[in-house]
Copies of this chain bind each other. A is one copy, B any other.
Amino acid sequence: MSASLEPRRPFFLDCDTGIDDALALGYLLASDTVDLVGIGTVSGNVSAERGARNTLDLLELSGRADIPVAIGNAEPQRGTFDGGALHVHGANGIGDVLLPESATPVVDETAAELLVRMAREYAGELHLVAIGPLTNIAEALRLEPQLTTLVKTVTIMGGAAMAPGNITPVAEANIGNDADAAAEVLAADWFVTLVPLDVTISHRFEESDQRALVESEQTVPVALGQMLDFYFDFYVGTYGERASALHDPLAAAIAVGDIALKSAPVVSVLVDDTDGPGRGQTICDLRGYLVGFPEQPGAHCRVVLSLEQDFAPTLLAALLTL
């Protein structure tokens, strides 16, 4: 990306790396307006520990081993981690691509502790991007109730508003894998931008994008392109052809402010944390959808439903700079 006169802004990423998490991380590393000051991992696509391994290795490969990585919660608030979505992301979470192992250790704090520390250090300035289950974020809110004001923006990849879910008919994986934590985070007194399946499923990498990555002369784009091979296989069941949704990188790009939103109403959102069939659903009050979503007093969640432009070219261009 071209050099910017804008000062870099501090970002914190909470993730479960994961192929599309790797793309999101790449997007943030490529942005010249982002200063990635810390990363936490959580069990989701893979275990929190495996996610940290993948994150450290990707940072090393990108020459950014200086960014602190903290392992977060291995288990959701209730129940136990289900072992991850290995059929989606591969046994190692990054499409079975083998990266050189980074020698950098994780920091000696939990992900929630690191987030709270960074939120205090960059009080009022930190941008939080959460692209895994919200276990660590809920824990951080309990550790530091002032987090809601310390953090400047919160962007979450998760949920399904009108679109079907992906782990149940109504639940998306990040929310559904820790519905209790998600309910707390969405109920907290801060403004959240939610990037649900409704919009992420409509923005895809195709074979040509993957080819452009693997044909790069840089190691990071090549590695990311290789990971996509596994991901594309999974998405045949969703799209009927090899392609991949751009869930996590889209949330990252929206957090950075690079994306023009088309439909993104601010509406009441709560998470179904019952043990019923709706568990893990993000219940968004979209009843005003035919009349341009009249204002809902007290609502503090912006639900991104569509973009002005295709996101794939923006993402590809960013990743090719790595």
Q: Which residues of A contact B (CB under 8 A)?
A: 162-166, 169-170, 201, 237-240, 268, 270, 272-278, 281, 283-287, 289-292
Contacts and interface: CB of A to CB of B under 8 A. Distances in A.
A169 B285 contact: yes
A34 to B, nearest CB: 32
Contacts of A270: 277
- Please give the count of copies of this chain that the complex contains: 2
Nearest to A268: B169
A239 B290 contact: yes
Contacts of A275: 274
30 contacts: A162-B163, A162-B164, A163-B289, A164-B285, A164-B286, A164-B287, A164-B289, A165-B287, A166-B287, A169-B283, A169-B285, A169-B286, A170-B281, A170-B283, A201-B290, A237-B291, A238-B290, A238-B291, A239-B290, A239-B291, A270-B277, A272-B276, A272-B278, A273-B276, A274-B274, A276-B278, A277-B278, A278-B278, A278-B281, A278-B283
A286 B163 CA distance: 9
A172 to B, nearest CB: 11
Contact of A278 (B165, B274, B289, B291): B274
A300 to B, nearest CB: 15
A265 to B, nearest CB: 11
Nearest to A201: B290
Contacts of A278: 170, 272, 274, 276-278, 281, 283
A277 B287 contact: no
A29 to B, nearest CB: 31
Contacts of A169: 268, 283-287
Nearest to A278: B278
A165 B14 CA distance: 33
A162 B165 contact: no
Contacts of A165: 287
Contacts of A283: 169-170, 277-278
